[in-house]
Amino acid sequence: MTRKVLLLPGDGIGPEITDQAARLLGACQTAGLDIDVEKALVGGAAYDAHGEPLPAPTLEKARAADAVLLGAVGGPKWDAVEDLSKRPEKGLLGLRKHLGLFGNLRPALLYPQLAEASSLKPELVSGLDIMIVRELTGGIYFGHPRGTEERDGERVGYNTYVYGEAEIERIGRVAFEMAQKRGGKLCSVDKANVLEVTMLWRDVMERLAPEYPDVELSHMYVDNAAMQLVRAPKQFDVVVTGNMFGDILSDAAAMLTGSIGMLPSASLNESGQGMFEPCHGSAPDIAGRDLANPLAMMLSVAMMLRYSLGETALAERIEAAVGRVLDDGLRTADLADDSARAIGTRAMGDAVLEAFAQQA
Ligand code: IPM
Ligand code: MG
């Protein structure tokens, strides 16, 4: 059966890196993958064209797709949009919410070739392989009440950090199962010394633990987790946490691997449908200049093949191709120590495609 893939390039460097992903999908089709590829607008690009960051036709196409590949959204161009509900980021958050993509997998994997590019000493990061499991459709990002209003003559802004037991349990199960498939260690990150909502979070994780006797569960406060990530990151295997803590910790973890330009992510719902995107943002400062690293996006294609399309062999072929170009010493500017020798987005895409073809 032909499966449907929707490309949402978005803003900033999104279109450039999505082009490289589209070429890679073409190579997969040549290798026998039976997919239909469509494109639609999201984020600032959609706002400019239709006045909405998530136009109804885009959402419909996303619902109908087996998997969505998203570039990045946002940029200073839309900072002046006063209505927060029309900001590019709302396009992304709307997709996550409407598709029920509660399970966000953010691997922080160090390619050995890039140990020198890490912000930490090579011995602290060599062999680093962490999986951050971030809850993506709840918590303070979506809690009500929220807003800004006038109280006693001053403006007040407020958000609500809320999780129900069922929401915690379902992300907990994703994380426990992930730990079973990996090193058997799960660290749940909370702020249970201060926030009731995360006391409940910790309780639920504890309640689930006996069902996964092969997983060693530990707990850590988020401030300590931030410190441990930059002090001794290899102590972590799987980390599970809520939406906002996961947003912050995953950026920190990404940098340990040399560049945030390397890290893909998967966001899955209960039926296995997924959206796949690089962890980095739209990088407006380098947009349109053939400078962006397309590897996180190309590795997101690999995650899509693995998690939503069940095409493990093709996923592995892409990952091996990326390893190969790094072995060959090819680096985009974010990874290169000698920027004069850095190659561009398209040249990096060419190199991955070539390495991919050679593995046939
Ligand atoms: C991410 C991003 C988004 C988030 C933004 C763009 C809304 O930072 O995917 O980590 O905060 O979730
Ligand atoms: Mg983020």
Locate the domains of the chain by residue range.
1-102+271-360, 104-268
Pairing of the two strands 103-109 and 264-268: antiparallel
* Centre of ligand 1 from the C-alpha of residue 24, in Å: 25
Q: Which of 61, 90, 190, 191 does the annotation list as catalytic?
A: 191
CA distance linking residue 7 with residue 68, whole number of Å: 6
Integer angstrom CA distances of residue 249 from 18, 79, 224, 343: 25, 25, 11, 29
Q: Which two tokens stand for residue 104?
A: 């966000």
Compute, in degrees rounded to 10, the torsion defined by CA atoms 191, 195, 201, 203: 100
Ligand positioned closest to the Cα atom of 53: 1
Question: How far apart (Å, rounded) are the C-alpha atoms in residues 110 and 86?
Answer: 36
CATH class of 1-102+271-360: alpha beta
CA-nearest residue, atom 11 of ligand 1: 247
Query: Looking up tokens 């994703």, which residue turns up?
Result: 174
| Inter-residue contact 5 to 65 (CB < 8 Å) | yes
191 catalytic, yes or no? yes
| CA gap 202, 189 in Å, rounded | 8
Q: Does ligand 1 lie within 6 Å of residue 311's CB atom?
A: no
- Per-residue model confidence (pLDDT) at position 131: 98
Whether 319 contacts 299, CB under 8 Å: yes
Q: Which amino acid is at 61?
A: K
Query: Looking at ligand 1, which residue's alpha carbon is closest to its atom 5?
Result: 89
Q: Are 52 and 78 in contact (CB under 8 A)?
A: no
For residue 151, give both structure tokens: 């109280």
Domain 104-268 = CATH 3.40.718.10: yes
Q: Select from 171, 178, 169, 70 the least CA-distant residue to 129.
A: 178
Residue 265: strand pairing partners: 277
Print pLDDT tens along the chain (360 aa): 899 999 999 999 999 999 999 999 999 999 999 999 999 999 999 999 999 999 999 999 999 999 999 999 999 999 999 999 999 999 999 999 999 999 999 999 999 889 888 889 999 999 999 999 999 999 999 999 999 999 999 999 999 999 999 999 999 999 999 999 999 999 999 999 999 999 999 999 999 999 999 999 999 999 999 999 999 999 999 999 999 999 999 989 988 998 889 999 999 999 989 999 999 999 999 999 999 999 999 999 999 999 999 999 999 999 999 999 999 999 999 998 887 789 999 999 999 999 999 987
Contact 114, 330 (CB under 8 A): no
pTM over 0.85: yes
Structure tokens at 286: 């380098």
Ligand 1 within 6 A of 247 CB? yes
Predicted local distance difference test score (pLDDT) of residue 255? 86
Mutating to test ligand 1, I would choose from 89, 104, 300 the residue with most ligand atoms within 8 A of its C-beta, which is: 89
**Domains 1-102+271-360 and 104-268 alike in fold:** yes
Q: Please tell me the total number of residues recorded for the chain in this structure.
A: 360
Active site residue 223: yes
Active site residue 129: no
